[in-house]
Amino acid sequence: MTVVEQLEIIEEIKRLKTEKHAVILAHNYQVPDVQDCADFVGDSLGLSHAAAKTDADLIVFCGVHFMAETASIICPEKKVLLPDLDAGCSLAATINAEQLRQWKAQHPNAVVVSYVNTTAEVKAESDYCCTSTNAVKVVQAIPPDKEILFLPDMFLGAYVERVTGRKMHIWMGECHVHAGIRPQDVEAAREAHPDAELLVHPECGCSTSCMYLQAAGALNGFKTQIFSTEGMVRYAKESSGREFIVATEVGILHRMEKEAPGKKFYPANENAICEYMKKITLEKVLRSLREEIYEIRVPEPTASKARRAIERMLAIV
């Protein structure tokens, strides 16, 4: 696409947005062009809040399927569009509602906490939803004598267990992108950038080892923080540090470089690319707005049941 063509697409997106009273929400892992044309860019929690607050009639959700479902569950009166139906999530695909029902049957008194990266059907079977920003707070809000089923991410589960000191039953799911960021990637990045701080997403395959190494004092004062994607951006802006190794999907670097100019950001693994997030392009955003495709609507009673779990989460944070 030439620069002129790109500018024309952006202009047309702006025009249609005004005409249709629409808003564009984009996740931090979206390609730079899409992030730059969005009204709001953020993490899963921020996007849920943005969807809940907007007075737009139409939401074009630039993210993956479960995120658009969540927006539709929160705002059933709005039309929510996902520009490409193939934008799925390998983590959400690790558990379905039937598997969760069977797991619950084995632990009939347990409270179910589902990460937002789940289908609406799985959320409908859950007591609480959580995101990487608030998973610790959600678990801390559950009475200590209650058994907890935490799903579907095992690395996030291990992180929450460690921070809260609370033993949970954890589903052995993982995201192929984050699980692919291994401890050896972090080691190599630390060697290459000894003055950089390390920012790690709790879904990462390296998060557990980073936590243990840090607790054991083995990181030799190497400053390490475990954050959601939004937490990473905020920290990078506020820290006096100048260099950061970033252990999550590489799309986040665009926002970090934009919002913390002059600082340096290095991916822990430059191949950590979510092909689902990258399905959304500027052209598809335009087509989505123009043709009002693809509408994501969660049927009842699934929507109402899933909304209960999401609202419980939103009430905690």
Q: Quick check: helix, strand or coil at residue 268?
A: coil
> Measured from the CB of residue 108, what is the shortest distance to ligand 13P in angstroms?
30
Q: Which of 113, 154, 175, 200 binds ligand SF4 (CB under 6 A)?
A: 175
DSSP H or E segment with residue 243: strand 243-247
262 class by beta-carbon count within 10 Å (0-12 exposed, 13-18 middle, 19+ buried): exposed
> Measured from the CB of residue 203, what is the shortest distance to ligand 13P in angstroms?
6
Q: Which of 44, 48, 164, 288 binds ligand 13P (CB under 6 A)?
A: 44
301 to 53, 108, 123, 191, 309: CA distances (angstroms): 23, 22, 12, 53, 13
For ligand SF4, the binding residues in 41-80 under the rule CB under 6 A are 64
Q: Which of 131, 207, 224, 288 binds ligand 13P (CB under 6 A)?
A: 131
> Measured from the CB of residue 143, what is the shortest distance to ligand SF4 in angstroms?
29
Q: According to the binding rule CB under 6 A, does residue 136 interact with ligand SF4?
A: no
306 class by beta-carbon count within 10 Å (0-12 exposed, 13-18 middle, 19+ buried): buried
Tokens 């699934």 -> residue:
302
Q: According to the binding rule CB under 6 A, does residue 288 interact with ligand SF4?
A: no
| 90 interacts with, out of ligand 13P, ligand SF4, none, CB within 5 to 8 A per kind | ligand SF4
Q: According to the binding rule CB under 6 A, does residue 118 interact with ligand 13P?
A: no
Could you give the CA distance from residue 155 to residue 159 in angstroms, rounded to a whole number?
A: 6
76 to 58, 71, 88, 295, 296: CA distances (angstroms): 11, 8, 21, 12, 10
For ligand 13P, the binding residues in 245-284 under the rule CB under 6 A are none
For ligand SF4, the binding residues in 100-129 under the rule CB under 6 A are 117
Tokens 């709005």 -> residue:
78
Q: Are 26 and 35 in contact (CB under 8 A)?
A: yes
Site string for ligand 13P, 217-236 (x = CB under 6 A): -----------xx-------
Q: Which of 35, 72, 132, 134 binds ligand 13P (CB under 6 A)?
A: 132
Nearest to 124, CA basis, from 308, 278, 257, 262: 308
Question: For ligand SF4, which is the closer residue by CB, 62 or 64?
Answer: 64
| Site for ligand 13P, rule CB under 6 A | 28, 43-44, 117, 131-132, 175, 201, 203, 228-229
| Site for ligand SF4, rule CB under 6 A | 64, 89-91, 117, 175, 177-178, 249, 274, 276-277
